[in-house]
Structure 1
Amino acid sequence: MTTDDLVSIIDGSSFVVSDRRGDIDATPSVPTGMFLYDTRFLSKWHLTVNGERLNSLSVDDVQYFETRFFLVPGEPTHYVDAKVSIIRQRTIGGSFSEHLTVLNHKNEPIELTIRMEAASDFADLFEIKDIQHKKGQSYVRVENGLLRLGYQRESFRRETLISASEPAQFDEDGLTFRVRIEPHGSWETDLRVDTRVEAVGGRDIREGIHQSPAWIKTSMQEKLEDWLANAPTLNCDSEALATCYRRSLVDLAALRYQPLGATGQTMPAAGLPWFMALFGRDSIITSFQALPFIPELAHTTLRVLALLIGTRLDDFRDEEPGKILHEMRNGESAAFEEQPHSPYYGSADSTPLFLILLDEYERWTGDGGLVRELETDARAALHWIDEYGDILGNGYIWYERRNTRNGLENQCWKDSWDGVSYRDGRLPPFPRATCELQGYAYAAKLRCARLARRFWNDPALAQRLEREAAELKERFHRDFWVADGEYYALALDIEGRPVDALSSNMGHLLWSGIVDQDRAGKIAEHLIGPRLFSGWGVRTLAEGEGRFNPVGYHVGTVWPFDNSIIAAGLRRYGFAEEAGLIAESMIDAAQFFHGRLPEAFAGYDRALTKYPVQYPTACSPQAWSAGTPLALLWTLLGLQPCGEHLVVIPALPEQMGRIELLNIPGRWGHADAFARGQAGKPDTHRHQSYPV
């Protein structure tokens, strides 16, 4: 079974993945089932009629939280003669419900045995790919009108409760209905799957959210309508852009994740199916992308991450004082410290990115109260950059994992094992200092200098941060520049030598502002040159490099979020035409994925494939890919907060036509932006600095 054969419904913290019949068959390699907080609560969910499995006529993805399956018994060759058909309509939103309708198309009554097989292995999401022996005890109880599936290991307890609105015979393997349906009549029932996530002391952490299926559906629909209504309205000539924009807003609504115990607070989860959890880097970047559209995402993200900021040295979790987390899980393996994600701090970029988001959030919203509230955390993050991030004491952010057993080796955004290499393909030793980390640190210090001066009443700190940023910029240009190729190295190795692969990371340097204007043109040439630019977007690694692979996770694929940052960086330095080219390529690619940009797709040349080839295990929807069209709109329209006003400096490719973005929220209330594509380069090549 491939991901194309799967159907998903999602509600931020919980999701269901099934085959196209609506059935769930848990397998080691494919994350099918009902999941909540990193635990699989349903591993089997099989519907049969008179002992026959069903076949799919069609699937109607009504909303991200609702799906309908149209089915008939028997093999596909029997479709034309089917006298019985079945509709499974399922909804998720706190609980999982399935409305089952069986239709009799005959002129005589029929008697049917309708059976739902149900089971749960309560697998930790980390076990799906690597099955482990469970150390707790499973149990099944048939109660009055209820099937209770459970698992307990010490104080860790999870339960699945299955019920039905019509009389059923329950047993330990599921439930059975014996029904009579009159000629051309129908039979219906509501199946309900509730979950219990138990805390120490026996309290269900999720108690009080169990509602009726009708209430869930109505509530979810109302929430989605409010979400879309509160976002800016886009009117444009490009149907592809309009489709992409709406798809992005809907996907971000679906990925709103409520951290366990944080009632009413949501932030972006990273992506379905593997990363429906709290992530530092992903949530920060997605919140940044969405600031002109949904600023409340940034507010929750900043507060939750500040609440969980590192406070001690903990090798197992790669935790250090002032460090922003990488990932937090709530499954069994995290609870019993069999893996370090409780939370895990193995990313070197989350901390400076947190500071960048804090400043940009205030620029857009005017929420100085949050800046003051998080002053202590921001100062701790700044201290981390200088104290713990600078492993070698030479003024750069480096990373080397403390947890040598199951910590991440690469702790930049290209965190796969081979994501950082020399141009000949060799892997450098640790520690490593990737180029974009230095750009993030530079931007973080300048931005925090503004916050220190305006909100923290500390002009001495502001002056020190500005001085340190200038010194960082000077040595960065000396140490990272690859003279024989005229580009910035991917990283430095422990000896201070450039890790000289040509990569997309240097596009993030433009976004951060650390690049001198006289070198920006050469960087732009590389980014849209044939080695890096596939025609669908900028590749993570240039064609011809030692480890280049167009279907390698971080060594040749195209990542939409990466391209959104690169486009913003190009526009910042005045390369509007180049930024527009990337924006157009992303919107073009999205059309081949029904308006939804996946996590990544292959880096094949556009002339070779004629369509973008999806990376086989890419998350979809994925938060910072969903945020990409929003960020590209921000870039194309040249939106920039300036005091109590929104500045709009549009630069659209001619073929994109007209764009109107109405009711953009911010400290000014709401504002509108208008633009029309024009031939030529609207901007001169100038460095557009952020005001400080």
Structure 2
Amino acid sequence: MSDSIDRFFAHLQETAGEILPVTPTGVLRFDLVDDSATTTWFVTIRDGRARVKRTGGDADCVVEMQTADFEGLLAGRSNSVALLFRGVVSIEGDLKLYLLFRRLLPKQADSGNPEPDVGVPVRRERDGIRLHEWSSVFYGNMFMISGQDGNAEAGPTVPLGLFFFDTRFLSTWRLSVDDQPLASLSVDDVRSFESKFALVPGRPAHYVNTTTSILRHRWLRENLEEEITLFNFAPEPVRYTVRLDVGADFAEIKEVHDGFHRQRTVTSTVDQDSLRLHYRRQTLHRETVISSSQPAHIDEQGFTFTVTVDSHGTWSTRMRVLTLVRDLHQRDLRERLYSSTTRARAEAGREIDTIVASAPRLRADHQGLSEAYECSVRDLAALYYQGLNFAERLPATGLPWSMTLLGRESLVSSFQALPFLPDRAVNTLRIMALAQGARHDPFRAEQPGRIVQESRYGESAAFDDSPEAADFGAVDTTPWFVILLDEYERWTGDADLVRRYEVEARAAVDWLDTDADPVGTGYVWSDRRDTRAGPVNESWRSSAEGICFHDGRLAPYPHAVCEVQGYTYDAKLRAARLARRFWNDTALADRLEREAADLRERFNSDFWLPDRGYYALALQTDGTPVDALASNVGHLLFSGIVEPARAERLVGHLLGPALFSGWGVRSLAATEGRFSPLGQYTGAVWPWDNSIIAWGLRRYGFKEEAARLSTALLAAGRYFGGRLPGFFAGYDRERTRVPVPYRFTDSPYAPSSGATLLLLRVLLGLEPYDDHLAVDAAVPEEMGQIALLDVRGRWGYADALGRGRRLRDQHPPPS
């Protein structure tokens, strides 16, 4: 055993006081292996402290790894999550304890791979296909996208195929009959995880009188299963050759998104009843196993069935695809973890139905609102995944690019959905607290108290080629954590949860005053992050073009983005309320209220552009304002940092012709040098962004404007079947008459689903007030009546009613 490991465990008990949250608790056993022996340490975590022994009995979590790997973890050269996915750690039991143990590691780290990206990725242009042109199913963070015929033939930059844990386990899944391709008659999207394809052989012009048809019934749970049924309606038996071509390239979803392609060597193994596709890189091993319920000739490229079907008879086979992520002992990681349970298809459906049934019931005259509400609630109920070891499900963000944990998006969508699906907030707060930053690791932008933004499971994350295993590169997730924690208590009255996360909330507030302000000006600063797809900044406008001047020049780094200062102001006021009411710390409450008041005063002085009548998009370190007009200024109304006397001018910009497209507020005004209606952050309309703006309008008393924005977005949603995408093009409504979709954006997308719910809250004016639900409806006349029944909260259950009427705005001061 090395001296560094001995010293670490010897001093652990002395240095662990008041470092740890009160949950989770339990016993970890570390089995550290070298060439000669295995050394064991027991760490008991309880009451916010860690106690160390060399011997012990049963453990809640058993961690096995090589001594050298543990030394690398202590030295900061490795990340605990990346080690797990690299296949050098074996864990049995409760993974939460292993993740909590991160807080006890030495604080300094730099875990980047000194030799990243084995092989040179080739940059390619991404295909311009749109999601609605394809068929998709998803369950947890496993999803499959195929053509309308059920086939997937993926190129390097096209997100077709079967993905699991950010990796494509099937890139080819092509069915043919007698060497003929299949034409689609219909696609039935039964549920989010289940689809049926009705098909016939041949091209569309040739199948009118066909006597053969095929049904593909596909569903996901922990695995992919597909039942292929062949129907023979001929007057005599027919002999068929059914071929299923399969393949896997094990590409990462981020590679596909960013237009990169890394060459990988994939090997095939043919067993008696299955085909196995393997990819290995050092200790990392990913495997796809395909099997059939019927006999087949199996080769390295797929399955061939030669069958004779009687007249008016059928033949079927069930294909099963396993996606395996191997650990240190070549077991699938999920085999030994507590929550790894297989759900039947019916159980998976019941689980989603139960969540949907728990939401308030909506009765609305406006068909678009009813359609969007039903779709949004069902999508949010389905956008979850189990991870590896969490008994509670974790929030996923969107299909296809974001079917994983994203901090900002999870926090925002949980806030939006609070009156409707409060359990989403519980799950989000729990994982954000558990994954909170504990070290100073510049590679990941990790800092103590900072809330994680992205957690990926692919090859690049496993080998620290990129920081995505635990990437903290966002400046708005940390204040959003505090905002959601407070808002959750205001709605539910769950004081126990607020007390449970006191340590994490205090650490988040401390981060806002320390590492978040390296310039020392009292603002939260966003810095540049370099990725293989190019530089990004740490706000939600993550594109390098997202923060720009009016004339189109890009703003240098670092910069203080305007809405982040608003979030910080809001978070400090909310943390002050929690400190005074639940943490018994009036001194902290008083200090935070003073700091918030000072921030508001300085912000309104430094960011306001009097000749423009709006706030600067950002501030440079020398105090120079970045003067582009962007949707971000609407978030300032949401946070309450805007001086009431300035609100009306701000609202005039938000709903003026430069920002408001008729479908929603653009991310960048049409008057700005970098404006493009197709630019994600330079002109597109983001529904979640607009929902935050709508709530801000409502907060400052602009009910008519809030309703106008809400109805515009709901009108756009009807062209997307009630499911708003992540964003859509910012063309003028008068010009295009319909909202223009943007290539291949996430849909469903949790913050867009949540946008519909927050807009409904805006229209009804829902607000918790002590132990009552306050309702102050402002429903436009054309929307008719809205009734939201059985709204859960600290009051039990309540109904909210609103009747359409002609609105006359009075603009009272903000609450």
Q: TM-score, normalised by structure 1?
A: 0.96
After the TM superposition, which residues 503-518 of structure 1 pair with which residues of structure 2 at under 5 Å, given as runs? 503-518=630-645
Cα pair distance change 1:481/1:688, threshold 3 Å: closer
Distance 1:101 1:206 in 2: 32
Residue type at the aligned position of 1:28: P
Deviation at 1:114, TM superposition (A): 0.7
Answer yes or no: is the 8 Å Cα contact 1:313–1:320 preserved in 2: yes
Q: Deviations over 1:587-624 (max 9, x none)?
A: 10001111110111111111101000011232111110
Show the counterpart of 1:8: 136
The match for 2:694 is: 567
Query: Where does residue 544 of structure 2 map in the other structure?
Result: 417
Matched, 1:601 2:728: yes
Tell me if structure 2 keeps the 8 A contact 1:429–1:494. Answer: no
Post-superposition shift, 1:684? 2.7
The one-letter amino acid paired with 1:108 is E
- Contact kept? 2:701, 2:811, Cα under 8 Å: yes
Query: What does 1:311-390 align with in structure 2 at a 5 Å threshold?
Result: 311-390=438-517
Question: Which residue identity does 2:730 align to in structure 1?
Answer: G
Report deviation, 1:342. Answer: 1.4
Match of 1:118 in 2: 246
- Partner residue, 1:181: 309
Q: What is the identity, as a one-letter code, of the residue corresponding to 2:305?
A: F
Q: What is the Cα deviation at residue 142 of structure 1?
A: 1.8
* 2:320 pairs with one of 172, 192, 208: 192
Structural mapping, 1:131-142, within 5 Å: 131-134=260-263, 138-142=266-270
Residue number in structure 2 paired with 1:544: 671
**Aligned CA-pair RMSD:** 1.7
Alignment pair present for 1:56 and 2:176: no
Distance between the aligned counterparts of 1:667 and 1:536, measured in 2? Answer: 35
Q: Which moved more, 1:195-204 or 1:505-514?
A: 195-204
After TM superposition, give the deviation of residue 123 of structure 1 in Å. Answer: 1.5
Equivalent position SS for 2:324:
strand
* Corresponding residue number in structure 2 for 1:555: 682
470-479 or 667-676, which deviates more? 667-676
Structure 1 counterpart SS, 2:335: coil
Aligned to 2:161: 33
CA drift of 1:203 comes to: 3.2
TM-score where L is the length of structure 2: 0.82
- CA distance change for structure 1 residues 16 and 404 in 2, over 3 Å: closer, same or farther? closer
Is 2:651 the partner of 1:529?
no
Q: Where in structure 2 are the equivalents of 1:168-247 lying within 5 Å?
A: 168-207=296-335, 216-247=344-375
**Is residue 458 from structure 1 mapped to residue 585 from structure 2 by the alignment?**
yes
Structure 1's 149 and 211: CA in aligned 2 closer, same or farther, altered over 3 A?
Answer: farther
Contact 2:156 2:261 survives alignment (8 Å): no
- Using the aligned pairs only, state the percent identity: 51
* Residue type at the aligned position of 1:241: L
- 1:408 Cα shift? 5.1
- Cα distance in 1, alignment partners of residues 309 and 178 from structure 2: 14
User: Are 1:684 and 2:813 matched, yes or no?
Assistant: no
**Per-residue deviation at 1:244?**
0.4
Using the TM superposition, give the Cα deviation of residue 210 of structure 1 relative to its aligned residue in structure 2, in angstroms: 8.9
Secondary structure, counterpart of 2:279 in structure 1: strand
Unaligned regions of 5+ residues in structure 1, if any?
Answer: none
Q: CA deviation at 1:364?
A: 0.9
1:160 equivalent in alignment to 2:278: no
- The answer to whether the 8 Å contact 2:529/2:536 transfers is no
Asked if the contact 2:397–2:404 (Cα under 8 Å) also holds between the matched residues in 1, the reply is yes
- Check 1:133–1:390 CA distance in 2 against 1; reply closer, same or farther (3 A cut): same
Equivalent position of 1:255 in the other structure: 383
SS at match of 1:496: coil
2:563 is aligned with 1:436: yes
| Cα drift, residue 261 of structure 1 | 2.4
Separation in structure 1 between the aligned mates of residue 761 and residue 306 of structure 2, nearest angstrom? 58
Q: Is the 8 A contact 1:318 1:403 kept in 2?
A: no
Of 383-392 and 577-586, deviating more is: 383-392
Instruction: After superposing the two structures, state which structure 1 stretch, 636-645 or 145-154, moved more.
Output: 145-154
- 2-structure distance, mates of 1:548, 1:19: 34
User: What amino acid sits opposite 1:412 in the alignment?
Assistant: S
- Assess if the C-alpha contact under 8 Å between 2:392 and 2:427 holds in 1: no
SS at match of 1:195: strand
What is the aligned partner in structure 1 of residue 393 from structure 2?
265
Aligned to 2:207: 79
Of 232, 237, 241, 1:109 maps to 237
Moved more, 147-156 or 557-566: 147-156
5+ residue gaps in structure 2?
1-126
SS of equivalent residue, structure 2 residue 528: coil
Determine the C-alpha separation between the residues in 2 that align with 1:233 and 1:601. Answer: 29
Whether 2:417 is the aligned partner of 1:290: answer: yes
> In structure 2, how many angstroms separate the alpha carbons of the residues matched to 1:338 and 1:72?
46
Q: What code does the residue aligned with 2:642 have? A: V
- How far does the alpha carbon of each residue in 1:335-368 deviate from its partner, in whole angstroms, 9 at most, with x for none? 0011111111111111111110010011111111
Aligned to 1:67: 195
For residue 163 of structure 2, give the secondary structure of its aligned residue in structure 1.
strand
Query: Partner of 1:80: helix, strand, or coil?
Result: coil
Whole-angstrom CA distance in 2 between matches of 1:343 and 1:234: 39
What amino acid maps onto 1:93 in structure 2? Answer: R
How far 1:42 sits from its partner (Å)?
0.6
1:632-652 Cα offsets, whole Å, 9 max, x none, are 011111111122211111111
Provide, for residues 212-260 of structure 1, a one-character-per-residue CA deviation record: whole Å limited to 9, x for no partner.
9xx7321222122212211110001011110000111121122113333
**Structure 1 pair 183–405 and aligned structure 2 pair: CA distance change class (3 A):** closer
Q: Distance in 2 between matches of 1:19 and 1:200?
A: 37
Q: Which amino acid aligns with 2:234?
A: K
Distance 1:245 1:37, change over 3 A: same
Indicate conservation of the 8 Å contact 2:677/2:730, yes or no: yes
- How far, CA to CA, are the matches of 2:533 and 2:186 in structure 1? 43
Gap change, CA 1:200 and 1:361, over 3 Å in 2: farther
Specify whether residues 194 and 181 from structure 1 end up closer, same or farther in structure 2 by C-alpha distance, changes over 3 A only: same
Moved more, 287-296 or 395-404: 395-404
Which residue identity is paired with 2:813?
H
Cα drift, residue 13 of structure 1:
1.0
1:333 positional shift: 0.8
Structure 1 residue 55 displacement after superposition: 1.4
Matched AA of 2:318: D
Equivalent residue letter for 1:687: P
CA distance in 2 between counterparts of 1:583 and 1:477 reads 28
Deviations 1:55-105 (A, max 9, x none): 112211111111111111111211112121111110111111111111112
CA distance in 1, matches of 2:440, 2:533: 17
Query: 2:646 aligned to 491, 499, 519, which one?
Result: 519
CA separation of 1:404 and 1:179: change in aligned 2, threshold 3 A:
closer
Q: Distance in 1 between matches of 2:800 and 2:673?
A: 45
- Give yes or no for contact 1:318–1:407 (8 Å, CA) kept in 2: no
2:785–2:802 CA contact under 8 A, matched in 1: yes
Change (3 A) 1:257 1:653: same
Alpha carbons of structure 1 residues 593 and 133: separation in structure 2 relative to 1, 3 Å: closer
Task: Report the 3-state secondary structure (helix = DSSP H, G, I; strand = E; otherwise coil) of the residue aligned with 2:379.
Answer: helix
Q: 1:275 matched to which residue of 2?
A: 402
The SS at the match of 2:536 is coil
* Distance in structure 2 (CA, Å) of the matches to 1:68 and 1:414: 38
For residue 518 of structure 1, give the secondary structure of its aligned residue in structure 2: helix
